[in-house]
Each structure stands twice: as structure tokens, then as C-alpha cells.
């Protein structure tokens, strides 16, 4: 400030002119530790503990449900547990103020996906991770436009480039910011492992 999807290591950006303001609306998953941010009203109802993770080859994932997948990291293959906690959706004014050319954001709003990743198996990391590179935000089945330069350390988010040591059992929450149509009725978070996916968490808008 989510059809087969390839693992994404680079994205076509809309550049930020300034940091996106605090977002107005939250679509919240009943996820693993979700809801620590106070304020925005949840459109997904009361939160509950996450379901046990399941391994699959992709497809729709229930709200709050975690999946497991493997990612090729520099020290070796790592198994992660992944769950999309929530998506914060902002306003058209915030979108216009977030890009260099307001015309690029006409009819769009920012959507920030909060995704928790837990290291479940494989070598400890001593540098950055690739796990979040395969995360994307969709709206009504169409991929949004990524905002490069959006703050990675917004409330509840960590900057993935600050995570230099990651051992088994440790969890980090990374956020991805996209522009989506302001009239979208459903926001989706997609994540793919190296040999499968995508897994899709859907967040209906109120």
C-alpha cells in the first residue's frame, strides 16, 4: 500500500507515487492468527482457528484452511505451510494517490493480501526466501495489477527482505499489494508451489 497460474518471479508493475494510505475495508479470513489488526470490519464473519494443512495439487481452499507445498530455495527444497489470512481493500482515492499517473488507477482500488508462511521441513534459510514470489491477488477471476514499491511492513506485514534466517517451525507474514476493479464482488489470493497449484482462497466482498 488470486486456470493454471505459473510461479511468479517477476510481475508487470504499476509504480507507486507514494505509500498507500491506511486501507478502509478488510475482508478477513478465519486464519492462523488472523485478526491481530484492529479496526476494519470483517466481511468474512468471526475468526476461528485455521484448519490443519492439507497437501493437494491446487484448487479452491476453504477460508482459514492451510495448504502445504514445496519451494526450491537456495540451500535446498523447503516445505511450507501457507494460509491466506485476509485481504484489506482500500478506496479509489487511495489507488489514485498510490500511482504516478492517476489514470492508471481509474476504477481501481488497492487490495493487500496478508499471507502466513510456516517453514515445515527442509534446510534452514540463511538468506531471502522465494516462497512469496508465487502469491498473487485476483478479483472475479482476473489477475490484478501489482503495485511495486508498496510498503512491505504495513501493520501485520513483514518485509520479506528483512528475513535472513528462517528455521523449521518459524512463521512469517508477507503482504502483496495489487490494484483490482472497484466493483469486484470477490477477491482471491492465489499461491503455487514449484510443481503444482494454484491454491485459491476466496474472500467475498460485502
* Residue range 165-179, pLDDT digits in tens: 999 999 999 999 999
Instruction: Name every residue whose Cβ is closer than 8 Å to that of residue 70 and which is 6 or more positions away in sequence.
Output: 77, 78, 79, 80, 122, 193, 194, 195
d(CA 144, CA 137): 6
Which of 4-13, 26-35, 83-92, 150-159 reaches the highest mean pLDDT?
83-92
Assign 71 to helix, strand or coil: strand
Cα separation values, 138 from 25, 64, 75, 175, 184, Å: 17, 18, 31, 14, 10
Specify the DSSP class assigned to residue 44: S
d(CA 137, CA 20): 17
Predicted confidence at residue 153, as pLDDT, reads: 65
Domain ranges of the chain: 13-204
Is the per-residue pLDDT at 17 higher than 60? no
Picking from 111, 161, 87, the residue whose alpha carbon sits closest to that of residue 131 is: 161
**Are the C-beta atoms of 114 and 156 separated by less than 8 Å?**
yes
CA angle 101, 104, 110 (to 5 degrees): 105
Is the per-residue pLDDT at 54 higher than 90? no
Q: How many CA atoms does the CB half-sphere of 101 hold within 13 Å? A: 4
Find the distance separating the first CA and the last CA of the chain, reported in whole Å: 21
Picking from 200, 60, 191, 65, the residue whose alpha carbon sits closest to that of residue 135 is: 191
Q: Is the model more confident about 124 or about 47? A: 124
Assign 37 to helix, strand or coil: coil
**Are the C-beta atoms of 151 and 95 separated by less than 8 Å?**
no
Predicted confidence at residue 139, as pLDDT, reads: 97
Picking from 120, 151, 115, the residue whose alpha carbon sits closest to that of residue 134 is: 115
Amino acid at each position: 500500500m488470486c486456470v493454471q497460474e505459473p510461479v511468479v518471479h517477476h510481475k508487470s508493475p504499476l509504480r507507486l507515487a507514494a505509500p498507500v494510505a491506511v486501507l478502509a475495508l478488510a475482508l478477513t479470513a478465519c486464519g492462523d492468527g488472523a485478526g491481530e489488526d484492529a479496526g476494519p470490519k470483517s466481511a468474512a464473519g468471526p475468526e476461528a482457528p485455521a484448519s490443519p494443512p492439507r497437501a493437494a495439487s491446487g484448487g479452491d481452499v476453504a477460508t482459514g484452511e492451510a495448504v502445504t507445498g514445496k519451494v526450491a530455495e537456495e540451500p535446498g527444497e523447503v516445505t511450507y505451510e501457507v494460509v491466506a489470512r485476509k485481504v484489506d481493500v482500500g478506496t479509489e482515492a487511495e489507488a489514485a494517490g498510490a500511482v504516478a499517473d492517476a489514470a492508471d488507477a481509474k476504477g481501481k482500488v488497492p487490495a493487500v493480501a496478508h499471507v502466513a508462511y510456516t517453514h515445515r521441513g527442509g534446510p534452514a534459510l540463511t538468506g531471502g526466501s522465494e516462497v512469496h514470489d508465487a502469491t498473487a491477488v485476483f478479483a472475479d477471476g482476473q489477475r490484478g495489477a501489482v503495485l511495486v514499491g508498496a510498503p512491505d511492513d504495513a501493520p501485520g506485514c513483514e518485509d520479506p527482505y528483512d528475513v535472513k534466517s528462517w528455521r523449521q517451525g518459524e512463521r512469517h507474514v508477507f503482504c502483496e499489494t495489487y490494484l483490482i476493479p472497484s466493483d469486484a464482488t470477490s477477491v482471491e489470493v492465489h499461491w503455487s508451489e514449484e510443481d503444482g497449484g494454484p491454491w485459491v482462497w476466496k474472500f467475498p466482498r460485502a
